[in-house]
Amino acid sequence: MPVSRRGFLTAGAAAAAALGPAAVPARAVGPKRPFGRFGSPAARLTPATLYVHPGGAGDVTTVRDAVAAADGPGHTLVIAPGTYRQTVAVDPARTGMTWIGASENARDVVIVYDNAAGTPRPGGGTLGTTGSATATVQADDFTARWITFANDWLRADHPGVTGTQAVALKVQGDRSAFHHCRFLGHQDTLYADSMALGTVARQYFAHCYAEGDVDFVFGRATAVFEHCHFRTLTRHDLPGAPYGFVFAPSTAGTTPFGHLVTRSRVSSEAPDGFYKLARPWVPSSDRTARPMLTVRDTRLGPGIDAAAPYADMSSAHPWQSMRFAEYRNTGPGAAVPVPENRPRLTSDQARAHTRQVWLGDWRPV
């Protein structure tokens, strides 16, 4: 039976292993070495390294306090295994920050909260989509390794709330890299965005795992997803298809590149054909947006509706007028029963749809 998002987070690494991607072998992290091979407060990697431990064995006990203490650029946070229930924000001044999950297994370090767009805001109104984020990263040159970002807000717990967007991570900085991270939620899980309309933010996600149901990877960033796993969830609140959409890019019309998915896979716990691959998001703040998505060399499982993998978010902005394309995908969800519904690149065109071209002079490591 499906496990609720809150139950999944509290089930522990052993139970969670059956629901997520294969675990990266973890380094030994125990009571005597809670920070693994990354030093300790008594033996810092660098003077700008801070150690987070929920039981008090580090410099601070919360990620939020560590960010506050990391005043200025170039800090590294080494985070011991634990579930950190809090919201966290990295402002633009804290450039060059790195977060490291000390066990080198993302299941062990979980940053989670349960706000939604419809959650009441103190003083009136609601939080909105951006305000729902568990973690918000606005600084440039941010890197995270082996971290889980989660939002465990559940529709079933809040039947009267209509603003069901619940962001696990909103990242807006340029040259932002995520390696072996997980992004868990339902609607609007991973918000790959930029700081402002007309500002290009390049982001790189490698060997990551993201799951959700409605538009769970979205935004206007130039974002490259390489060797990633996207998983669509089942839903008990809808009588039939479609349950949702994997991608919802909102690329500005003047931005040359949007979201690129390469050498990845899309799987599903929902019935076959119950998900669309993508729909374009043309936000009210940018009616000239031309969302862009390329999915290439990727396995699309049977959960994707092969006959009609794309849908409109608004009839005023049909997906056919956007920049959607595929190349050399495999799997049942990549079948082409209706050719006009599967825009495909030629081999010559595909040469411009690579990590190197999309990220320009930035080479993430």
**Over residues 322-340, mean pLDDT:** 98
Q: What percent of the chain has pLDDT over 70?
A: 92
Res. 310: pLDDT tops 90: yes
Residues contacting 61, CB < 8 A, separation 6+ = 52, 53, 54, 55
pLDDT tens sequence across 47-96: 999 999 999 999 999 999 999 999 999 999 999 999 999 999 999 999 99
Would you state the pLDDT for residue 10?
A: 41
Q: What does the block give as tokens for 48?
A: 């700008």
Res. 19: pLDDT tops 70: no
215 is an active site residue:
yes
Would you state the pLDDT for residue 28?
A: 63
Would you state the pLDDT for residue 238?
A: 95
Single pTM value for the model:
0.94
Res. 304: pLDDT tops 50: yes
Number of neighbouring beta carbons within 10 Å of residue 244: 22
Give the span between the Cα atoms of 182 and 25, in whole angstroms.
15
For every residue of 170-222, DSSP letters joined together read: EE--SSEEEES-EEE-SSS-EEE--SSTT---EEEEES-EEEESEEEEEESSE
Pick the catalytic residue from 188, 193, 213, 305. 188
Give the span between the Cα atoms of 100 and 79, in whole angstroms.
6
Q: How many CA atoms lie within 13 A of 26 on its CB side?
A: 24
Res. 327: pLDDT tops 60: yes
Cis peptide before 337 (omega within 30 of 0): no
Would you state the pLDDT for residue 24?
A: 46
Number of neighbouring beta carbons within 10 Å of residue 40: 20
In degrees and rounded to multiples of 5, residue 348 shows phi and psi of -65, -45
Instruction: Output the CA torsion sign for 32, 36, 39, 40.
Output: negative
Would you state the pLDDT for residue 2?
A: 39
CB 103 within 8 A of CB 41: no
Q: What percent of the chain has pLDDT over 90?
A: 91
Res. 11: pLDDT tops 90: no
Res. 3: pLDDT tops 50: no
- The residue with tokens 């919360």 is 62
| Residue-wise burial string across 281-306, b where 16 or more C-beta atoms lie within 10 A, e elsewhere | bbeeebeebbbbbbbbebbbbbbbbb
Helices (H) and strands (E) in the chain, counts: 6, 25
DSSP H stretches of helix in 23-165 = 63-69, 128-131
237 is an active site residue:
no
For every residue of 260-294, DSSP letters joined together read: EEES-EEEESSPTT-EEEE-----TT-TT---EEE
pLDDT confidence bin for 27, thresholds 50/70/90: low
Give the span between the Cα atoms of 247 and 245, in whole angstroms.
6
Length of the chain: 365
Would you state the pLDDT for residue 4?
A: 46
CB 262 within 8 A of CB 298: yes
CB 267 within 8 A of CB 229: yes
Give the span between the Cα atoms of 245 and 319, in whole angstroms.
13
pLDDT tens sequence across 141-184: 999 999 999 999 999 999 999 999 999 999 999 999 999 999 99
Give the span between the Cα atoms of 38 and 81, in whole angstroms.
13
CA-nearest of 305, 297, 302 to 276 is: 305
Pick the catalytic residue from 152, 174, 213, 215. 215
Mean pLDDT over all residues of the chain? 93
List 178's β-bridge partners, or say none: 144, 205
Would you state the pLDDT for residue 21?
A: 45
Res. 17: pLDDT tops 90: no
Would you state the pLDDT for residue 26?
A: 52
Would you state the pLDDT for residue 30?
A: 75
Would you state the pLDDT for residue 365?
A: 84
| Chain-centre distance for alpha carbon 204 | 11
Q: What does the block give as tokens for 44?
A: 């810092």
**Over residues 193-219, mean pLDDT:** 97
**Over residues 283-311, mean pLDDT:** 97
pLDDT tens sequence across 235-282: 999 999 999 999 999 999 999 999 999 999 999 999 999 999 999 999
pLDDT confidence bin for 32, thresholds 50/70/90: confident
